[in-house]
Amino acid sequence: MISYRDRLNNAVIMMNYYKSLRRILDRPREPNRFWPSEATVDQPTPDAIRTYGECARKLYYKLHNELPEELNYLSIMRMSLGSLVEENQVKYSKLISTNVKTQSEVKVPYGDILISGKIDHVLHDPHADVFDIIEHKSSYGYGFTSEIFKKGNFKQNHALQLGLYMYGVRAYNILEPIGVPNDKVRTGLLVYTDRGNCDNVDFIIDVAPNTKATLENTEIVGTTAEPYIVYNKAGKMERFASIQRMLHKMFMIHGFVKAGVLPPIDFVNQIDPMILNDLTRRDKITSAEKIEYLRSQKIDWNCGYCQFKSKCIKNEQPNTTAINTEHAKEKLQMLEAKFYSIEGIQIQDIIRANAETPEELPV
């Protein structure tokens, strides 16, 4: 008898991969469109230039609509649980204020690229008659609680995401159409929830000054006019990352995409040997490639979770025609026609039963 865990594992992985294929085939990414959660910056610090946020090469693969590698069951379930926690946080915020605006769209232009996304929610404080921009995140485990709750350190990529929202609010007044003028916005709050005990902690994130960062205005870099993401540290707002540098890096990644040139890797391409063993076992890389890789690299967590790591290891270009080729369609048909080894259930039956919207139903 196949265990419940194995049955669930197979079903969840198949469903998630199917939805990834359908999304790429039906709604391919525009090469000049970025999400705020994909923000990246090479930020000078006193000791080095540090990369915060997404890897340039990972974004390159995404913008080429490269098919991601399959996620494992536990990763998918953790992300689903995180989404549920964050949705509940938005719901419970309505207990604090009757004026809660959700999914407000932010669009930030820079040259010929556009960064667009939706704010989790905008919360009105009736006592001060001001609004706070809220971004919810959740996680669990010792590393999370130690870093976030005990040491008081936010995750850099989360600060970049909320910082982009705040920049859209401050520089472009994008919330005025929904009745939230810039002068009524108090600050941004990055709110973390521990999925283990449901405890919360928040960090104040904002942007200052309100200068617009444009492709024609790069001379502001290094001056007091340069817009920065700032955060509260012991009652004082400290600089974290440059908006101008962040937008310009994303613009440069778009240039790599247009030119078809594989960008360098931001995080030294280092992958856990266990992950390499798994890639070898699944014939994603050869044993010789694994040995050569281990000789030249170390371990880095950023690459361990990447869904493009097997291509990245070999410095492979993405399959730029993937969304129009029979290859992707054949994989889709294979998934739709495949019988599970569990009680003869067909995948299309499970997909139809679990589709979130009509658009997700098999054609």
Predicted confidence band of residue 245 (pLDDT cuts 50, 70, 90): very high
Strands 33-34 and 113-125: parallel
Contact at 8 Å (CB) between 276 and 300? Answer: no
Among candidate residues 318, 316, 305, 54, the one with its CA nearest the CA of residue 160: 54
Residue 37 has pLDDT above 90, yes or no: yes
273 or 277, which is more confident? 277
Q: Which residue has the higher pLDDT, 76 or 272?
A: 76
Tokens 């090479």 identify what position? 42
pLDDT at 343 over 50: no
Q: Phi and psi for 228 in degrees, rounded to 5? A: -125, 145
Please tell me the pTM assigned to this model. 0.81
Please tell me the predicted confidence (pLDDT) of residue 328: 62
Highest mean pLDDT among 191-195, 271-275, 353-357: 191-195
Which residues, listed in sequence order, are joined to residue 138 by a DSSP beta bridge?
193
State how far the Cα of 300 lies from the Cα of 65, in Å rounded to an integer.
25
Helix, strand, coil percent content, the chain, rounded in steps of 5 = 45, 20, 35
**Position with higher pLDDT, 86 vs 13:** 86
Higher-confidence residue of 136 and 87: namely 136
Q: Are 147 and 153 in contact (CB under 8 A)?
A: yes
342-353 burial, b at 16+ Cβ within 10 Å, e below that, comes to eeeeebeebbee
If one compares 333 and 175, the residue with the highest pLDDT of the two is 175
Q: Could you tell me which residues come within 8 angstroms of residue 192 by beta carbon, excluding any fewer than 6 positions away?
A: 137, 138, 139, 148, 149, 154, 200, 201, 202, 203
Mean per-residue pLDDT, 55-70:
87
Query: What mean pLDDT is predicted for residues 215-230?
Result: 86
pLDDT single digits (tens) 158-172: 999 999 999 999 999
Across the range 255-272, mean pLDDT stands at 81
Other Cβ atoms within 10 Å of 105 Cβ, number: 13
Whole-angstrom CA distances from 195 to 34, 121, 174, 217, 330 are 28, 20, 32, 43, 39
Q: What is the mean pLDDT of the chain?
A: 81
Least confident of 2-11, 232-241, 258-267, 298-307: 298-307
Structure tokens belonging to residue 142? 């010792």
CATH fold, domain 74-251, is Lambda Exonuclease; Chain A (3.90.320)
Render 196-253 in DSSP notation, one character per residue. TT--EEEEEEEEES-----GGGGGGTTSTTS-EEEEEETTEEEEEEEHHHHHHHHHHH
pLDDT of 276 above 80: no
Maximum average pLDDT range among 185-199, 290-304, 341-355: 185-199
- Tell me the residue length of the chain: 363
Question: Residue ranges of the domains in the chain?
Answer: 1-30+325-358, 74-251, 268-323
Mean pLDDT of 50-60: 92
Q: What is the pLDDT of residue 82?
A: 80
The answer to whether residues 77 and 335 touch, using CB atoms and an 8 Å cutoff, is no
Q: At 191, is the pLDDT very low, low, confident or very high (cuts 50, 70, 90)?
A: very high
pLDDT at site 345? 47
Cβ–Cβ < 8 Å for 153, 205: no
Q: In percent, how much of the chain has pLDDT > 90?
A: 36
pLDDT for 300? 59
**85 vs 61, higher pLDDT:** 61
- Res 280: pLDDT: 80
| From 55-69, 154-168, 180-194, the region with the lowest mean pLDDT | 55-69
Which of 180, 88, 80, 202 is CA-nearest to residue 135? 202
Q: Pick the residue with more confidence: 283 or 134?
A: 134
Let me know: does 107 contact 115? Beta carbons within 8 Å. Answer: yes
pLDDT at 186 over 80: yes
Task: Give residue 277's pLDDT.
Answer: 75
* Residue scoring higher pLDDT (112 or 47): 112
Identify the band that residue 111 occupies on the pLDDT scale cut at 50, 70 and 90. very high
Token pair, residue 255, equals 């240039």
